[in-house]
Chains A and B, each alone.
Chain A
Amino acid sequence: MNMPSDADLLAKWRARPAPLLPLLHEFHERDGFLSEESLRAISEDLRIPIADLFGTITFYHHFSRDPDGYARARVCTGPICALAGANELLAGLPNAQAMPCPGRCDEPIPVLDRDRVLCGTTVAELASRPSPLPPAPHPDVEECVFAHIRTPGRATLAGYRASGGYAGLENALRGRPDALLDIIDASGLAGRGGAGFPTGRKWRAVAEAAGEPRTIVCNADEGEPGCFKDRALMDYDPHAVIEGMIAAGFATGAMRGFIYLRYEYPDTLHILETALEEARDAGLLGPDALGPGRPFDLWVRRGAGAYICGEETSLLNSLEGKHPFPRNRPPFPVTHGYEDLPTVVNNVETLASVPHILVHGADWYRGLGIGDHAGTKVISLSGDVARPGNYEVPMGFPLMTLIDDWAGGVPGGRKIQAVTMAGLSGGFLAGEALDVTLDEPDIRSKGSFLGAGGIMVFDDSRDMIEVAHSAMEFFAEESCGKCFPCRIGTQRLTERLHGDGPPDIGAWIDEVHDLGDTMMQTSACGLGQAAPLITESLIRYFPDRVSRHVAQSV
């Protein structure tokens, strides 16, 4: 096979939408790293100042400037994999490097080897296999996004259609965009990526905003440690995501869309691209997708390893080829999104809910939740539980019922010491706070938040200082460096959890509280605002352990 030349690659991408990331990936894979010559060629062709381009590629974990960079295996050393022996596995793999959680906590330990994901807890065990399906559902509870996910062949267009796929969209396309917006409004569907913003309101804002073309962006940069639900949805039900995006395009008057997929899901990339090809061949995408002469098309763009790119404005900058700092808000993406034009940014799960709502109706979806809570939520459950995996629960479902009854409880006769919320961003819940229902108001009343729905369980043998330290180290490494409180604060909190800082417990707590308070109140985006929940909840639930930690540090 002939290697494509620089000119081939530049000619292939320069006229396509959002060309920078795919171009960088092509050069990176071709050469095994990003050479100075490649970067200069790209800089000149895309007219990006070379200093800017150089700075931007250093932002991403997976772009390497070392000649053997691409070939180096990356081993997850995230919170769950650390429990499973990730550091030993890393030591046993020559030339491997650590990476933050790549979203395989239901099957530790993932190793990213170029464009393959291998899993296993020892070197001998490492093998590539399809990502785990969600465990069988509880018989008494009705699912939404997972309703057909276990049906074999659902990922193909034929299989998707056979289980009712695209019927809701085709029906909606015969009506008016307004009618579709009304259904989404009435369903109570809200953002499942963590922010919980009402989807109907977001779509309507984009439909009413001035400026064209409008864009639909699917945020598939599932970077939160302990979250792996979007991976399951895209791997086994990619057409549901595509159908949701086309519906969003019709409702808002958009004609283009992107799926911004995290780098760590190479298998998912192929699945999505196959599904998009099928959809394009079937005319579901393309020049007449939304009706005669009404185009809509979608492209996948891969990130390159940067947690902050899951923040929607950082994602948009990344997609545009800019330095992925978050933008100042307002203005919001609904008016100033991709290329400063009106843009919907929705999470995978949110979009995957839409086809089901279109088939079964708004009332059905709303009724899936418990009490006043609309719909369902996928929880990625991992750590010290018998059956880790993705569980779709009714909104308002009791946490302990999920852990004990559905997931088999804590193995080995141990007890729960703590769980995380929102992956890591929600900090810890422990003790009586575990008596909580899985919905935003109840979790917020405990000083945390549900977020994207990642929950990691730690039994009573785990050292919570160590867990908190590795969590804060993650936030420090992923802080973008734009705003002072987060850039300095995550570093200082990491140092204090590592054993540095004042030797006196009073002074230690004062510093940690002051750092945390100012980070929460003044940080520019959710990363810095949420990171101190780790230290705040640690001090709240484990004061004795914190005192011992400070005393031992002297």
Chain B
Amino acid sequence: MSDNSGNGTGFDFEITLDGEKVGVRRGESLYEVSERHRKEIPTLCYDPRLEAFGGCRLCIVELDGARNPVASCTMRAEPGMRITTRSARLDMHRRVLMEMVASENRDMDVDPLSGYASQEMAVLLDRYDARTGRFAGARSGRSRPDDDNPFILRDYENCISCYRCVRVCAEQEGDYAISVMNRGFETQITTEFEGLLGDSACTFCGQCVQTCPTGALADIKALANADVPGETEKTRTVCPYCGVGCAVDLMSRGDKLIGVQPAMDGPANEGALCVKGQFAFDFVQHPDRLAYPMVRGEDGELHETDWDTALDRAAAGFTAAVENHGRHSVYGVASGRAPHEAAYMMQRFIRGAFGTNQIDNCSRA
């Protein structure tokens, strides 16, 4: 119960936020309270699904009584706190921090197809007018062009060491496939013994890609479609692969499906996907996909035909099997790529037409 005050507001106490008294639920961070009031505090290391980390320091706010600004993401709101989210001093520090970030990176602009959060750095660079060329010096991060996995680009020269990838892998996916090695400016995201993702505990769920704020980790399959002409359109739907019901945004240009991003507000998945939902969409527009009915001829080859002929051939085959071997000689496995209505039809067909319960779906595997 968060409301102990009996005042019906749902809040436990108040703080003063930019001069205004606002309600707070016990346990909320200053960042969470400020976000509720649309203060648009900048951050690069924050992902609302993850434990606050306090790395980028962009979310600093002025706290009355504190000598230095405090990181709002890691500071819990306490009764009576007075905080300021914008001031000349805060803006100056945020700009210097963004100039520092810009100075260690190779690319400031990355293709939005790289991943869901890939524009966060570029947006803040512009907001703080930080493309100044100040603080020039060594750049950090070693990219891994040797990692030839087909899904995740590991372009660490664009890494800003916010560790969102490491944290999402541990806290959300529970894979613990990647970690932080070395320290300071030599810090590097790594797998065990600096190996390839394919040799690690990685399941290629892609969540690291989608939380990366710079495109250092990027969706190779979506980027392969970067040259497809047209505006990217996103269509919200539900992943068909299994029963979890992960919400996804299908990205398309014209009539071409170019990639998948998880829906951060998907009630079942909150931005999570598995390798199938994230990366296995080629079948939709694959050239080998059946576009018309075919039957095998006397010559042993498949030939195009009409639906009636094809269905008659199929029915004859089923009937012969049941007559010769009984109703349990039929086993139906519905495709995970089929829509839910088709899956339902399939089980009705197997149960009703053949009288067997041998019906399954590949998503169960």
* A residues adjacent to B (C-beta < 8 A): 36, 49-52, 54-56, 58-59, 306, 308, 323, 328, 330, 476-492, 495, 500-501, 511, 514-515, 517-518, 520-524, 529
Contact = CB atoms under 8 A, between A and B. Distances in A.
Given A328-B71, A485-B97, A518-B96, A54 B57 contact: no
Given A51-B176, A484-B55, A521-B93, A59 B183 contact: yes
8 contacts: A52-B176, A54-B192, A56-B179, A59-B181, A476-B185, A477-B184, A483-B56, A521-B60
Contact of B185 (A479, A524, A529): A479
Contacts of A487: 161, 184-185, 187
B74 interface: yes
Residue in A49, A59, A476 whose Cβ sees the most chain B Cβ within 10 Å: A49
B83 interface: no
Contacts of B44: 484
A522 B180 contact: no
B214 interface: no
B354 to A, nearest CB: 48
Interface stretch (B130-138, B205-213, B295-303): B130-138
A55 B170 CA distance: 14
Interface stretch (B98-106, B150-158, B236-244, B273-281): B98-106
Given A484-B100, A522-B60, A54 B185 contact: no
Interface of B: 44, 52-58, 60, 68-69, 71, 74-76, 89, 92-93, 96-97, 100-101, 103-104, 134-138, 140, 160-161, 170, 176-187, 190-193, 200-201
B100 A488 contact: yes
B184 A478 contact: yes
Contacts of B191: 51
Given A54-B190, A521-B93, A522-B93, A323 B179 contact: yes
Contact of A518 (B97, B178, B200): B97
From B44, B161, B183, B201, residue with most partner A Cβ within 10 Å: B183
Contacts of B180: 55, 323, 481
Contacts of A55: 179-181, 190
B96 A51 contact: no
A518 B71 CA distance: 13
Contacts of A500: 137
A52 B135 contact: no
B184 A490 contact: yes
A36 B183 CA distance: 20
Contacts of A521: 60, 68-69, 89, 93
Contacts of B93: 517-518, 521-522
A523 B185 contact: no
Given A51-B200, A522-B57, A479 B135 contact: no
A481 B184 CA distance: 4
A522 B200 CA distance: 36
Nearest to A48: B176
B210 to A, nearest CB: 20
Contacts of A522: 57, 60, 68-69, 71, 93, 97
Contacts of A52: 170, 176, 179
A481 B57 contact: no
7 tightest A-B contacts by CB? A55-B179, A49-B176, A481-B187, A479-B184, A328-B74, A491-B185, A58-B181
B88 to A, nearest CB: 13
Contacts of A36: 193
B57 A483 contact: yes
A50 B199 CA distance: 12
Given A52-B179, A55-B190, A514-B96, A491 B101 contact: no
B319 to A, nearest CB: 55
A523 B52 CA distance: 16
A481 B135 contact: no
Given A485-B57, A524-B54, A492 B68 contact: no
Given A323-B179, A484-B55, A495 B137 contact: yes
Nearest to B194: A54
B185 A51 contact: no
Name which of B44, B89, B180 has the most chain A CB atoms within 10 A of its CB: B180
Contacts of A478: 183-184
A330 B76 contact: yes
Given A483-B55, A489-B100, A524-B54, A59 B160 contact: no
A328 B52 contact: yes
A132 B170 CA distance: 48
A481 B69 contact: no
Contacts, number: 146
A491 B184 contact: yes
A98 to B, nearest CB: 15
A16 to B, nearest CB: 24
Nearest to A58: B181
Contact of B161 (A477, A481, A495, A515): A481
Nearest to A527: B184
Contacts of A524: 54-55, 57, 71
Contacts of A54: 179, 181, 190, 192-193
A191 B41 CA distance: 36
Given A51-B176, A55-B190, A524-B54, 10 more contacts: A328-B52, A328-B71, A477-B184, A479-B185, A481-B186, A486-B184, A487-B184, A488-B104, A515-B100, A523-B57
A495 B185 CA distance: 12
A488 B76 contact: no
A6 B60 CA distance: 47
Contacts of B100: 484-485, 488-489, 492, 515, 518
Nearest to B182: A58
B68 A51 contact: no
A484 B134 contact: no
B135 A484 contact: no
Given A488-B103, A524-B54, A515 B193 contact: no
B54 A492 contact: no
A492 B193 contact: no
B183 A51 contact: no
B242 to A, nearest CB: 26
A51 B192 CA distance: 4
B184 A515 contact: no
A522 B193 CA distance: 33
Contact of A51 (B135, B137, B178): B178
A125 to B, nearest CB: 33
Contact of A484 (B52, B97, B186, B200): B97
Contacts of B104: 488
Nearest to A52: B179
Nearest to A40: B192
A515 B192 CA distance: 34
A485 B160 CA distance: 12
A306 B57 CA distance: 23
B19 to A, nearest CB: 22
B12 to A, nearest CB: 18
A524 B69 CA distance: 10
Contacts of A306: 183
A523 B170 CA distance: 25
A515 B96 CA distance: 7
Contacts of B92: 518
B135 A515 contact: yes
A323 B160 CA distance: 18
Given A323-B180, A487-B184, A489-B100, A51 B71 contact: no
Contacts of A511: 134-135
A523 B92 CA distance: 15
Contacts of A490: 184-185
Contacts of B186: 481
A524 B160 CA distance: 16
Contacts of B58: 484
A119 B92 CA distance: 48
A458 B260 CA distance: 62
A51 B177 contact: yes
A121 B160 CA distance: 42
